[in-house]
Amino acid sequence: MPTNTPDDNLQDEFFSDVFDTSTVATETDEDESAAPEAILPTQNLQKIAAPEVHDRGPFGRLMEANFLQFASYSICDRALPTVEDGLKPVQRRILHAMWEKDDGRFSKVAGVVGNTMHYHPHGDAAIKDAIVTLANKRYLIQGQGNFGNIFTGDEAAAARYIECRLTKLAREYLFSPKVTTYVPSYDGRNKEPVLLPAKVPLSLMLGVDGIAVGLSTSILPHNFPELLEAEIAILQKKPCPKLLPDFITGGVMDASEYNDGNGSVRVRATIEQRDKEKNKLFITSVPYGITTDRLAESIEKAIKTKKLPIRHIDNFTAEKVEIELSLTPGSDLEKVRKALYAFTECERKISSRIVVLKNNRPVELSVSEMLADHAQRLQEIFAAEFRVRLAEIDQLMIRKTLEAIFIENRIYKRIEMVKTAEAVAMEIRLGFTPFLDIIGHEVTDDEIEMLLKIPIRRISLYDINRHNEEMEALRQEHAQLTDDLGHLARYAVKFLKGLLKEYAKTYPRLTVVEDGFQAIDERALTSTELTLRLSEDHYIGYDIKQGTPLFPCSSLDKIYVVWSDGRYRFTPPPDKLLADATYAPDQAWLAALNPRAPVHYFTAGIYNRDEVFTCVYYEPLYGFTYIKRFTWGGMIMNKDYNLVPEGATVLLLYRGTPEKIYVKFKFLKYQRTSQWAFDPQKVRITSASSKGIQMTAKQIERIETKRPSWWTGSDSAVETASDGMLFQ
């Protein structure tokens, strides 16, 4: 073990007076049990070897212990459901509180919240939100009043205005107090269940999301009848069928990337075209987790960026989703439908990762493993219930046998003249002595007390035939339970088939499954949706109504803008960007630009990181002209870069590589050569920010990429880079 430094020793002395650190657990190699049990690694989570860390003193140990306690609490008591009953702690406490007060009638949610707070250490708002969420998932809580709208995202009314009660499914298949383990509540005044004996796979039915310290879970909801069918197959030792999520919001789902609870699904809204509405589309379902308001906002945003030819949106959603989209005349309905999936919230990707608590430890499971665990748990619940009932039947049969002997043999007559309690007990024991072989044990004091409490009316109206019928019924029940206890899987299958028959029609599949969504070429949908224009006051953008058209582009494109001083920028297609220059694409800028004049020219185009450009620029420091070929490479949006050194002027910016560059020099007395043609194809390709190679030291008057009218002589007579005119 590393020893404390002098500074740590001083820290120890200080904190020993301020904090009581004697009770703070320190996790060491010698005491591995100091770590909270709930966050120890499991067989599913590989342990990562941590580097050795020196003791940081009492404050460090205090913070470490507190953090571990907080992490353990958030993982085990808040965020993750248990694999045993599929519930989070707050959900378990809500259901237990409702069951305790359940009388079949609706109760105020505010009252349920108050009852739950006897078990739950959090505030009323968190409990109320959990109740609303469970009610909107249909299975366990039935709501009455305004519980919000899962389609529009409207919030529920205040807890004092709405009511709820347990559903028949929850009341019959979640509770069994005789086989439930209880522990004291957080304040020790009440008892709460450790786990509910849930006979249905709740976490897979409801769907669960949770974020803890270092862990998160996302369990997608599945169809209840399909889960029952899969669990039946598991109990019958058959392969578990493939299970796919089923969302309460419906929609269309592509589960090609979903594998037994891991991976992701893509969900689309249902978009209909109706015969009587020729120029309209109707959205009748939304993706899971998306509200109609959020969907409408995404559509409006796509309309503003010219991605959708939609004139008007009408949202008529109430109990069902109904969004009416009025298209511009002449729109292609199928193309608009694809654009809605591509550019709005009409399509959503939902990830799934099942992390749950198993034996109070976090583990990652699949859907089939979750169902296998529940199938085993279901058999254990039945076994516990059968044993409890068998014990009750044994006690009931003994009691009925004692009553029959006591009445039929008139043992009660023996105590008529007895005056003391001890003598009464003695007389009853003497009366039962001839029947000990039937009873199998000596009559106890409790049994004597029970016999003495039999009303005289019951003795006088005693029916031996009825007694025999009741005993026979108990024997048959005992035999049936004994048989079921020996064949738990068979009984569980019978139970699940009964559930399936009862609820198959109540909970049909809502989400339509497709083998795979057809790929949408977003760029093809938007290739010419925008047109950049240049206004008279030198603005460039697609929102400019009056101006010179430059080129069409897509809202998905990135645009480069290069000014004649070498400054350049990448940007999405702008709605309005100040260029403050004249548009001059792929031209010899020098033909109309004095290098000493202010910047007046720019060019723009669609960004392609691997596209090759040729640039010629003049640097006034030495009076040289340089050439380079480059590609844009990576970039940061809306950041200014420099294509040429500061103070230089771009003379030529050409997309691609011209065959030749024709140059005319300024006239100088005694100058032998007045023109040259350069071959740029031998210039190596570099990055946009690199410096070019020297092209010429002479002053250039004109520069072109095609043979100009001012050129004299033939091309065969000109000098090229191979003659050493370009300095590599």
Q: Which residues pair with 541 in a beta bridge?
A: 533
3-state secondary structure of 107: strand
- What pLDDT, in 10s, does the model give residues 10-28? 445 544 544 444 444 444 3
Distances, alpha carbon 72 to alpha carbons 68, 210, 363, in Å? 6, 14, 14
Of residues 361 and 478, the one with the higher pLDDT is 478
CATH H superfamily, domain 371-503:
Topoisomerase, domain 3 (1.10.268.10)
pLDDT at 539 over 80: yes
- Give me the residue label for tokens 């796919």: 244
Distance CA 61, CA 68 (A): 11
Provide the pLDDT for residue 228.
96
Provide the pLDDT for residue 191.
94
Confidence grade of residue 720 (pLDDT, cut at 50, 70, 90): very low
Provide the pLDDT for residue 20.
47
Provide the pLDDT for residue 581.
85
Distance CA 210, CA 88 (A): 9
Q: Are 160 and 110 in contact (CB under 8 A)?
A: yes
Flag the least confident range among 44-58, 284-298, 647-661.
Answer: 44-58
Distance CA 155, CA 137 (A): 15
Flag the least confident range among 6-10, 397-401, 505-509, 521-525.
Answer: 6-10
Distance CA 383, CA 386 (A): 5
- The pLDDT of 396-422, averaged and rounded, is 88
- The pLDDT of 221-242, averaged and rounded, is 95
Q: Are 373 and 336 in contact (CB under 8 A)?
A: no
- What pLDDT, in 10s, does the model give residues 100-121? 999 999 999 999 999 999 998 7
Distance CA 102, CA 96 (A): 10
Q: Which residues pair with 280 in a beta bridge?
A: 326
pLDDT at 526 over 80: no
Q: Which residues pair with 650 in a beta bridge?
A: 617
Confidence grade of residue 515 (pLDDT, cut at 50, 70, 90): confident
To the nearest whole number, what is the mean pLDDT of the chain?
85
Of residues 599 and 216, the one with the higher pLDDT is 216
Distances, alpha carbon 201 to alpha carbons 209, 227, 403, 569, 700, in Å? 16, 8, 44, 56, 82
331 alpha carbon, distance to own chain's centre: 35
Distances, alpha carbon 452 to alpha carbons 400, 444, 455, 589, 681, in Å? 14, 12, 8, 119, 117
- The pLDDT of 313-335, averaged and rounded, is 91
- What pLDDT, in 10s, does the model give residues 449-479? 998 888 888 888 888 888 889 999 999 999 9
Confidence grade of residue 195 (pLDDT, cut at 50, 70, 90): very high
Provide the pLDDT for residue 44.
47
The answer to whether the pTM exceeds 0.75 is no
Provide the pLDDT for residue 39.
37
Of residues 7 and 412, the one with the higher pLDDT is 412
Confidence grade of residue 392 (pLDDT, cut at 50, 70, 90): very high
Note the CATH number of domain 527-723.
Answer: 2.120.10.90
Which residue from 133, 61, 127, 136 is spatially nearest to 96, judged by alpha carbons? 127
Provide the pLDDT for residue 719.
42
pLDDT at 724 over 50: no
Please give the structure tokens belonging to residue 584: 């001059």
Provide the pLDDT for residue 52.
57
pLDDT at 695 over 50: yes
Segment of 507-521, 567-581, 695-709 carrying the highest mean pLDDT:
567-581
The domain ranges of the chain are: 6-57, 80-198, 270-345, 371-503, 527-723
Distances, alpha carbon 144 to alpha carbons 108, 156, 172, 369, in Å? 9, 11, 20, 36
Query: Which candidate in 139, 161, 182, 641 is catalytic?
Result: 161
186 is catalytic: no
* CB burial of residue 55 (10 Å; 0-12, 13-18, 19+): middle
- The pLDDT of 483-492, averaged and rounded, is 96
Confidence grade of residue 586 (pLDDT, cut at 50, 70, 90): low
* β 612-619/567-571 pair status: unpaired
Provide the pLDDT for residue 86.
92
Q: Which residues pair with 339 in a beta bridge?
A: none
Flag the least confident range among 118-122, 154-158, 246-250.
Answer: 118-122
- The pLDDT of 507-519, averaged and rounded, is 88
Segment of 218-232, 440-454, 673-687, 694-708 carrying the highest mean pLDDT:
218-232
Q: Greatest CA span in the chain, whole angstroms?
A: 157
Provide the pLDDT for residue 11.
46
Task: Name the class of domain 270-345.
Answer: alpha beta
- The pLDDT of 141-150, averaged and rounded, is 95
Task: Name the class of domain 80-198.
Answer: alpha beta
* β 163-166/107-108 pair status: antiparallel
pLDDT at 3 over 50: no
Provide the pLDDT for residue 57.
76
3-state secondary structure of 663: strand
Q: Which residues, other chains included, contact 192 with Cβ-Cβ below 8 Å and sequence gap of 6+? A: 92, 93, 96, 119, 182, 183, 184, 185
Please give the structure tokens belonging to residue 436: 């000990």
